Amino acid sequence: MTVHRLPPVVATLRPSNHPYLNGAWTPLHEEVDADDLTVIEGLIPRDIDGVYLRNTENQIHQPLGRFHPFDGDGMIHALSFQDGRVRYRNRFVRTRGFQAEQEAKGSLWGGLADPPALAKRPGFGAHGSLKDSSSTDIVIHAGQALSTFYQCGEGYRLDPMTLDTLGLERWVPIDGISAHPKVDEATGELMFFNYAKHAPYLHYGLVDADNRLVTLQPIDLAGPRLPHDMAFTENYAILNDLPMFWDAALLERDIHAVRLHEGLPSRFALIPRRGGVPRWFEAAPTYVLHWLNAYEDGDEVVLDGYFQETPMPPPLADAPPGFGHMMAYLDERSFRPKLHRWRFNLRDGTTREQRLDERIMEFGAINPRHAGRPYRYGYSTVAKPGWFLFTGWIKNDLISGESWTYDLAPGRYGSEAPFAPRLGATAEDDGYLVSFITDENTGRSECILLDAARIQDGPVCRIALPHKICSGTHACWGERDKLA
Ligand SMILES: [Fe+2]
């Protein structure tokens, strides 16, 4: 392996016993380019061509307050596959926050678990005064990568191969965009939403394949809400108004306390994709972090996602002192997300609901060519009890009801695993799931490929990475012909 290291960034973080600043969540500060990576097992397939992009959170400076794992600075990792060869590189997103803290040589903003007043400079996020660290998601749109922030923030454009930060996306509205814009590969369009503490509390927007803002419209809500993700079909964008959001009375005192509002249903807005009057549907109360897919089926719109059985979990019992509340909201065994289907009837306005799997799972992937269209297979991750760490995957056949699993060995933790279609594929599951692994037994990281048609067989290829990756949240696969 040939590794070229960049000059180090200014870092002031000191060692601590914080559970999310150690182990598989140890921040990485090094930026490298690496070639001739060592293949640990199998052969690098010649039948995929594209790049795996992974966004991770890496705290650089000593936190001003109580560190939350979503506070770290965004670092993008790219593993490019072509003709059976791979190249790796990683870079911090050069956000305005990153650069200001490099100049200041220390933290200028508090985090998600801190009061907004802790910030030394104006900030971002519906919570207020956060550093927009662009550390949550990454998508490919109009040939370039776009990285986004957990709440609402700016959009940073990056070259998907060099990972150079190209600058701020100019169509992003004043209230920012949420972490999960959605790209429809069939049309090249990107759909997004944002939310705020002031009216209008929600906006929906659409950007076309040429990166022109086509639609930006307010969506009426009774007050501030906390949506995280959206879905789409061929004709609709689907936004949500779920009954877990800030307590209005406390919010007037700038206290951001989330609670489940008894007696309120879950509400879903079906909005014509290029803008128009939303049509609302109601369903059982819950919170949903991520949707898997949506599609149209005759008079019905079908939405699949992860229904949380206990969106407001009690503090995690065996957490280190002081971390029980934060760790419960990072622990799937606490909030209990399960794969669930909502069917919205366009004729009579009713909603039918159905549980698709009783096991706890989240962070799903599908073949992106089926996004917004009928599909058969979902690939969800399984987490380590008590921890935001992925230990395996479940493949669900949503037509036959069959499922298959692959579990990593103890001490090995995966990342969100997008689907990479095989060159010339015709079958929906003809491709690979791509994941980084952080191995706490060896202190190293690698990339694995699972054959999506047979995930239960384990990796078809394992490739050593030049350094240990911090766990992080979201990832995507960019096919070569979609990169500028
Ligand atoms: Fe997310």
- Cα(150) to ligand 1 centroid in Å equals 7
- Cα(136) to ligand 1 centroid in Å equals 7
Distance CA 455, CA 96 (A): 41
Distance CA 9, CA 59 (A): 12
pLDDT of amino acid 88 = 98
- Cα(255) to ligand 1 centroid in Å equals 23
- Cα(38) to ligand 1 centroid in Å equals 31
- Cα(435) to ligand 1 centroid in Å equals 16
- Cα(29) to ligand 1 centroid in Å equals 23
Q: Global pTM? A: 0.97
Alpha-carbon Rg for the chain, nearest whole angstrom, is 21
pLDDT of amino acid 129 = 85
As a whole number, the mean pLDDT across the chain is: 96
- Cα(348) to ligand 1 centroid in Å equals 32
- Cα(313) to ligand 1 centroid in Å equals 18
CB burial string 338-351: b at 16+ within 10 A, e below: bbbbbbbeeeeeeb
- Cα(4) to ligand 1 centroid in Å equals 32
How buried is 57 (Cβ within 10 angstroms: 0-12 exposed, 13-18 middle, 19+ buried)?
A: buried
- Cα(178) to ligand 1 centroid in Å equals 10
Q: Are 341 and 351 in contact (CB under 8 A)?
A: no
Nearest-CA neighbor of 53 among 97, 87, 7? 87
How many Cα atoms occupy the beta-carbon half-sphere of 132 within 13 Å?
22
- Cα(362) to ligand 1 centroid in Å equals 10
Nearest-CA neighbor of 388 among 13, 2, 24, 6? 24
- Cα(90) to ligand 1 centroid in Å equals 21
Distance CA 262, CA 107 (A): 38
- Cα(137) to ligand 1 centroid in Å equals 7
- Cα(218) to ligand 1 centroid in Å equals 22
The residue type at 377:
Y
- Cα(151) to ligand 1 centroid in Å equals 10
For 136-186, write each residue's pLDDT tens digit: 999 999 999 999 998 899 999 999 999 999 999 999 999 999 999 999 999
- Cα(421) to ligand 1 centroid in Å equals 22
- Cα(180) to ligand 1 centroid in Å equals 7
CATH number of 2-482: 2.120.10.30
Q: Are 453 and 419 in contact (CB under 8 A)?
A: no
pLDDT of amino acid 385 = 97
Distance CA 376, CA 401 (A): 10
- Cα(472) to ligand 1 centroid in Å equals 11
- Cα(340) to ligand 1 centroid in Å equals 17
Q: Are 292 and 306 in contact (CB under 8 A)?
A: yes
CA 112 vs. chain centroid, Å, equals: 17
User: Where in the chain are the domains?
Assistant: 2-482
- Cα(12) to ligand 1 centroid in Å equals 28
- Cα(290) to ligand 1 centroid in Å equals 6
Nearest-CA neighbor of 73 among 11, 4, 162, 8? 11
- Cα(439) to ligand 1 centroid in Å equals 23
- Cα(426) to ligand 1 centroid in Å equals 29
Distance CA 24, CA 182 (A): 28
* 10-residue averages of pLDDT along the chain (484 residues): 96 96 98 96 97 98 96 97 97 97 97 90 81 96 96 95 97 94 97 94 97 98 95 98 92 87 96 98 98 98 98 94 95 97 98 98 98 98 98 98 98 97 97 98 98 98 98 96 92
pLDDT of amino acid 71 = 95
Q: Are 391 and 407 in contact (CB under 8 A)?
A: yes
Enter the tokens of residue 144. 């370039």
Residue owning tokens 């207020």: 128
- Cα(85) to ligand 1 centroid in Å equals 30
- Cα(147) to ligand 1 centroid in Å equals 12
Enter the tokens of residue 64. 């001003």
- Cα(291) to ligand 1 centroid in Å equals 9
For 75-126, write each residue's pLDDT tens digit: 999 999 999 999 999 999 999 999 999 999 999 999 988 988 899 998 887 7
- Cα(446) to ligand 1 centroid in Å equals 23
- Cα(81) to ligand 1 centroid in Å equals 25
| Cβ within 8 Å of residue 349, ≥6 positions away | 279, 281
- Cα(177) to ligand 1 centroid in Å equals 13
- Cα(321) to ligand 1 centroid in Å equals 27
Distance CA 310, CA 230 (A): 21
Enter the tokens of residue 63. 């936190």
pLDDT of amino acid 254 = 81
The residue type at 74:
G
Question: Cα torsion for 241, 245, 249, 255, to the nearest 10°?
Answer: -140
pLDDT of amino acid 116 = 86
